[in-house]
Structure formats: C-alpha cells, structure tokens
Chain A
Amino acid sequence: MLNWDSIFYSNVRRTNAFSFVSLNRFINMKYIFSALCLSLITSSCMSATLDIDSACSSKALDFPGVPISISNKIGEKTRSVSSKSDMSATLNKIADVADIHVTTATLFIDSESDLSFLHYVRVTIHNDSDESNELVLSDAAFSNQNLPIIVDKDKLATMLRNGPVTMVFTGTGNIPTASTSTTTTFCIGVSAHSSKSIGDISKH
C-alpha cells in the first residue's frame, strides 16, 4: 500500500504501510524512459514562421504628358510609363531557408500634383527576362492613390523571385501636355514558414 503523504511531504513520518516496492513500481524506470522518449520524439522537430509586414520598393516616375498636337482632340488619352524594381535577392535569401508566401500587396501612387486627370489606371508586371508572361496587378477606375491589387499572390511571388521586374503603368484620362512627377510605392507582405526535423538541420 502506497502512503502518499510519505511521498509528498517531508515532515510526515513514514508508516509501516509505506512500501518501497510500491514506490519502486510507481516510478518504474520503464515509465520514466517512456516519458523521456516521448519528450525527445516530440522535440525532434521545429517549426518557425517569419512575418514581414512590408517590403517596399519606391520609384520616382514622370508620368508623360500628351503631345500638344493631340491634346486638343476630343476624348480621353492614354499614356504609359514603366518602372523597374528587383526584390528577388531579398526574397530568395528568405526562400533559401523557408517556404515564402506573399500575403499582401499594395501599390500606391503619390504626387504633389493633382492626379484627378487620371480616370483609369492599368498596371501590369513582367519579368525582364520573360516579357511575354505578364500579370495584371491592377485594372480599375482611378479613385484614390491606393490602387486595388487583383493579381494572384502566389504567381506574383514566383515572378518577384525570378529576377528584376518591370511594372507598366497605363493611365487613361484628360492627360495634360506636361509630364507629372509621381512616386510609386509597391509593397508586399511576406510570410515565411519552415518546419524541420533535427535530422534535416544536421544535414545542413
């Protein structure tokens, strides 16, 4: 018969009922060994998540004006401008150790000038090494400086990791003859997740 008070309390005198055999059975080495094995097995893997709220690329762009020769023609005009950026080194550094996902993407056009002449903006993106494969980042009426992003984020992540990209901004509206200075800021949020066993880590 096991006397619990004897086990738990140091100031309780052990009685004859206390049995070393029972205690020995209770803390049988097999159970302790099993508990240790359980700890080691469960602790033999690790997982980590890294969240970067924003990685941003900012560029100054001069949005071109329309030639005077066509400025008086009736109807909206369309002009385009392109901007290059390269986040591949940053993303690939992270991708070397973890699976990365683009969680958010934002595109912002800022200008000290009035941009109300823009009625519609379409933004496409392509890798410099593969111009035929382009994605539409945004394609909407221009209502504020934050352009709505419609691109599939997994495809965007693949493209951004592949190397330098070019974004082509195409604006439609009552475009003035003079160029307009703007700053475009393209941001992505990145989540990187890695799960590894101790075996995997030791291989590296």
Chain B
Amino acid sequence: MKSFMRAFMFSGLVVALVCGVGPAFADAPSVPFKVGMFFDVSVPSGAALGIETRLPRVPWFKLGFAGTYTLAPGIRGNVLIDPIKFPIAPIANIDVGHQFPLTLPGVSNSPDIDFTYCDLQGGIGLGNRDGFRFMIMAGFSYLNGTARNFQRIAFAQNITVSDPHFNAWIPNAKLGFNLLF
C-alpha cells in the first residue's frame, strides 16, 4: 500500500517535472522544426483532424490545431507534452476548444447548445515520438456554455425562461495518433 501511495505521488511529480523542465533546457541542442497531422476521437471534442508542429529545441512539446466534429463543427487547439523519446512513454495533453451550436438529437425543439472547453489529460504514447505516435489518454474536461433558445422547450403557459448557462467538470478519454513528417 505504501509503495502504491509512493507510486501515486511519483506520478504527480512526473507531471510537475514535465511542466517545469522547459526553461531548464533553454540551452538545449536544436532539433528541426517539424510539421505533421493528427487525428483523434474524444469526449467532448468528437472527431478531430488537424495539423501538429514540433518546435525547435523542445521536441517533447507539440502544438496542434484541429477542426472537430460532434453533432456540429468546432475548433480546438492543443499542447501535447511527450517528454520521453521511447516507444512507450507517459504523455500529457491540454486542449482548449469551442463547440459551435448543436442541437440534441431526439429532443424535440432542442435548444442550441454551444460551449467552450478545456481538457486536461494524461496517458500513454506508443510508437515513435518523432514519427507515428498512437495515443490513449484520459482526464477531465471543464465545459462552460449556454443553451440558446431554451424557450423552445415546452414550458407552462405564461412562463418565460432565459437561456441557461452551464459549467461542468466531466471525465474525458481520447484515442488517436499523430504523425510528424
């Protein structure tokens, strides 16, 4: 049990180190700028297809931008931290995205729901960090949005309801790959 707790604490430490090592490698050897593409399926983004760049000097740090689609289009930017050049390695990811208005299937007179979200994810990367990398991740998403035209839902006579705002923390999961050319 003690060693399990230590392992948990170590996991947190790894995440903290990953976030903190960037400045320490300011004098690091230069690596070429690389561009690639990625595809993933996740909650709440849906399917995402985009381009990814690996910046010089920080090969473990990848920036991406994607178009997403669930029941309606959306956009998403991400920072992928892939610190270890090894066929199997822990990875961390932060997404910030926006889902354009969608209507819920099966709900008559569904309000238009749009939201902005931030995903915090950790997981495993399999494959070549500088080439094809398969990724499986899980974590949390914070959503903040509005249900527009809420009045469309049948309310009692003489009741008017303003558009509600919502925010939520929900679990997320992501499955996908990136490919640097």
Residues of A within 8 A of B (CB): 5-12, 23, 26-27, 30-40, 42-59, 85-87, 89-90, 198
Report if A86-B156 is in contact (Cβ < 8 Å); known contacts: A8-B85, A10-B130, A54-B162.
yes
Q: Are B123 and A9 in contact (CB under 8 A)?
A: no
Report if A38-B8 is in contact (Cβ < 8 Å); known contacts: A9-B29, A43-B140, A59-B158.
yes
Q: Are A31 and B14 in contact (CB under 8 A)?
A: yes
Partner of B166, one of A7, A43, A51: A51
Residues of B within 8 A of A (CB): 4, 7-8, 10-12, 14-15, 25, 28-29, 31-32, 59-60, 83-86, 88-90, 121-124, 129-130, 137-140, 150, 155-156, 158-162, 164-173
Q: Are B168 and A47 in contact (CB under 8 A)?
A: yes
Report if A46-B171 is in contact (Cβ < 8 Å); known contacts: A27-B90, A52-B164, A85-B158.
yes
Q: Are A8 and B14 in contact (CB under 8 A)?
A: no
Contact residues in B for A50 (Cβ distance below 8 Å): 164-166
CA distance A47 to B122 in the complex (A): 20
CA distance A47 to B4 in the complex (A): 28
Closest to B147 in A: A50
Closest to B143 in A: A48
Q: List 11 A-B contacts (CB under 8 A).
A: A8-B59, A11-B31, A26-B84, A27-B86, A31-B10, A33-B7, A39-B121, A46-B171, A50-B165, A58-B160, A90-B159
